[in-house]
Amino acid sequence: MGEPRDEFAGAGARARRALVREVEAEGELADPAWRAAFEEVPRHLFVPYYYVPGPGGYERLWSGDPDAGRRERWLRGAYEDTAIATRVRDGELVSSASQPSLMALMLRALDVRDGDDVLEIGAGTGYHAALLCHRLGDRHVTTVDLDEEIAESARTHLAAAGYRPAVLAADGARGCPEHAPYDRIVATCEVPSVPYPWLAQCRPDALVLAPLSTGLVLLRVPDGTHAEGRFLATSAYFVALRGAAAHASGRGPAGDEGFRFLWGLAGEALDRREALSLWLREGRPERERFGVTVSGDRQWAWLDDPGGPYAWPLPEA
């Protein structure tokens, strides 16, 4: 028996082509391998239902809606270049599908090569893992999620699209030692610091890409106890590793994303006045000037120089 028939295949393919053109216009998908992945992996199979904000909370859209207009709206939304709320509990967001253009940026930064083994932290819908499978092959991809229901759902979506990576219900902070070592580790959920087990499960010179504060830090791992790297230029908002909704803290000047990033990174090390003074004194520094260093059992964030005057300890991983 083959895969179940996809009644939205034709319309989905047209919508994917439009999405690819939009993401390309933003400067992503220059790599033909990633372009092909976004063109061929059917995102709508990974979001058979999702939620959109409405006046009284969230409205559910789904593929099986008896109303043809609402089904069309569901399919159109599945291919918009936006994040999609996929699980809501008691009015709170607990899982989402990331914005495709942000996924493309992260995959480009990950710089995978043929034969690389990748661990994804946060299975979500399974769509991101499917893109990795398309590029690398199923046996090179492992994805984990703490929530067993989410992991099972991701596994089902992946199988429906023809992909069968290793999907495990496990604590992402512990990595996945049974499939280690890895050449790349990518988190699709926010972390307060870099979990040490991730580094221990890396091959020498591996890369780790993870959301931290409201940015994305890319670390190179020379060995299992050391890592260092800088933040990418883009802002990034993700659901937190343990499943609680991750919102901007709001502690900084209203509307100033750059300041919120700095204060989120510094944590308790700076009060509002100190953080604002530093931010202004340094000329409203861009994200690329910040970085993270892990050395043994210590890790810290820094501005410009890992050994410079502006450094803040990160929470215990």
Domains in the chain, number: 2
Choose the final residue of a domain: 231, 247, 274.
Answer: 231
Is 95 a known active-site residue? yes
Residue position matching structure tokens 């067993």:
148
pTM for the whole thing? 0.92
> Given this model, what pLDDT does residue 44 score?
96
When pLDDT is averaged across residues 17-23 and rounded to a whole number, the result is 96
37-51, 228-242, 299-313: least confidently modelled range: 228-242
Outline where the chain has alpha helix (H): 9-25, 32-40, 68-78, 100-110, 127-136, 148-160, 196-200, 257-266, 272-281
Q: Which of 95, 98, 153, 193 is catalytic?
A: 95
Q: How far apart are CA 86 and CA 46, in angstroms?
A: 10
pLDDT value at 312 more than 80: yes
Q: Are residues 171 and 296 in the same domain?
A: no
292 and 210 inside one domain: no
Residue 70 lies in a domain: yes
CA distances from 253 to 258, 283, 287 (A): 10, 15, 17
Q: Which residue has the higher pLDDT, 242 or 226?
A: 226
Let me know whether 262 and 227 are in one domain.
Answer: no
**Domain that includes residue 301, residue range:** 257-313
d(CA 246, CA 187): 14
Per the prediction, the chain carries an average pLDDT of: 91
Q: Is 127 domain-assigned?
A: yes
Are residues 131 and 268 located together in one domain of the fold?
no
The 10s digit of each residue's pLDDT in 244-302 is 333 333 333 444 888 989 988 998 888 888 989 999 999 999 999 999 999 999 999 99
Residues 55 and 193 in one domain: yes
Region 194-220: mean pLDDT is 97
Percent of the chain with pLDDT over 70: 94
Say if 246 falls within a structural domain: no
* Number of residues that make up the chain: 317
Average pLDDT of span 108-135: 97
197 and 95: one domain?
yes
Looking at residue 248, its pLDDT comes to: 34
Q: Is 236 part of a structural domain of the chain?
A: no
What was the pLDDT predicted at 251?
Answer: 37
- pLDDT value for 267: 83
Look at residue 56 in the predicted model and tell me its pLDDT: 78
Judgement on whether residues 120 and 200 belong to the same structural domain of the protein:
yes
CA distance 153 to 127: 11
| Lowest mean pLDDT segment, chosen from 6-10, 88-92, 168-172 | 88-92
Residues 155 and 210 in one domain: yes
Encoding tokens for residue 316?
């215990």
Q: 275 and 222 in one domain?
A: no
pLDDT in tens, 56-76: 788 899 999 999 999 999 999
